[in-house]
Amino acid sequence: MGQPLDDAALDTIFRTARTYNGYTDAPVTEADVARIYDLLKMGPTSVNQQSARFVWLLSQPAKDKLAGFASGSNAEKIRKAPASVIIAYDMNFHDHLIDFFPHAPEAKNWFPTEAGRREQAFRNSSLQGAYFIIAARALGFDTGPMSGFDNAKVDEAFFADQPGVKSNFISTLGVGDPSTLHDRSPRPGFDRFNRVI
């Protein structure tokens, strides 16, 4: 069992953490994204399927390429951010289960339909995308997740050689600049969307 986190840690990953529109000049390196990945991959996925695929965009040409498919103000945010990432999902995640769920070699046969595989891959890549956000925060970074982009064009530009891989959402990444924040939107109280039965 883990130790409960202290207030400072809870602030860092949830309570005062924000979705950032802009970042300081502090760089994001390949070593940084590897550290983020090494944390997020420990988050749980169904049959440990690890269906998310990440493309980390650290170079300006790569960020410009992604920005070309983003809508409205998202494009400029991507161009200016120290880094961006495409969180995608692999419809063929079951081909890798022998590595990640080795105690059940038959697991690759548990997902016979394309619709079922898509649902699994999308659900679990979304979870891994959330783990990415929390892992980045835990390591002192901030993120700006976005769904306002053309998925089909991103898939064509970044995953043409992997037809089973489809984009889920994208995010900027860096050390957030508080001057780019709007006021925080309200969150619902417990009574609004919860039932205890």
| Beta carbon of residue 129, minimum distance to ligand FMN (angstroms, whole number) | 7
Q: Pick out residues in 53-82 that bind ligand FMN (CB under 6 A).
A: 74
88 binds ligand FMN (CB under 6 A): no
Q: Which is nearer to ligand FMN, 74 or 128 (CB)?
A: 74
Residue whose structure tokens are 């493309």? 55
How many residues belong to the site for ligand FMN (CB under 6 A)? 10
State how far the Cα of 154 lies from the Cα of 152, in Å rounded to an integer: 6
| Beta carbon of residue 162, minimum distance to ligand FMN (angstroms, whole number) | 22
State how far the Cα of 101 lies from the Cα of 87, in Å rounded to an integer: 22
State how far the Cα of 9 lies from the Cα of 15, in Å rounded to an integer: 9
- Binding ligand FMN (rule: CB under 6 A), the pick from 148, 152, 156, 163 is 148
CA distances from 69 to 31, 46, 75, 151, 152 (A): 27, 31, 8, 8, 9
* Interacting span for ligand FMN (CB under 6 A) from 35-43, 96-104, 146-154, 159-167: 146-154
Query: CA dihedral defined by 145, 166, 92, 162, rounded to 10 degrees?
Result: -120
Count the alpha carbons within 13 Å of 62 in the hemisphere toward its beta carbon.
13
Q: Which is nearer to ligand FMN, 131 or 169 (CB)?
A: 169
179 binds ligand FMN (CB under 6 A): no
Residues that bind ligand FMN (CB under 6 A): 18-19, 74, 145-148, 169, 184-185
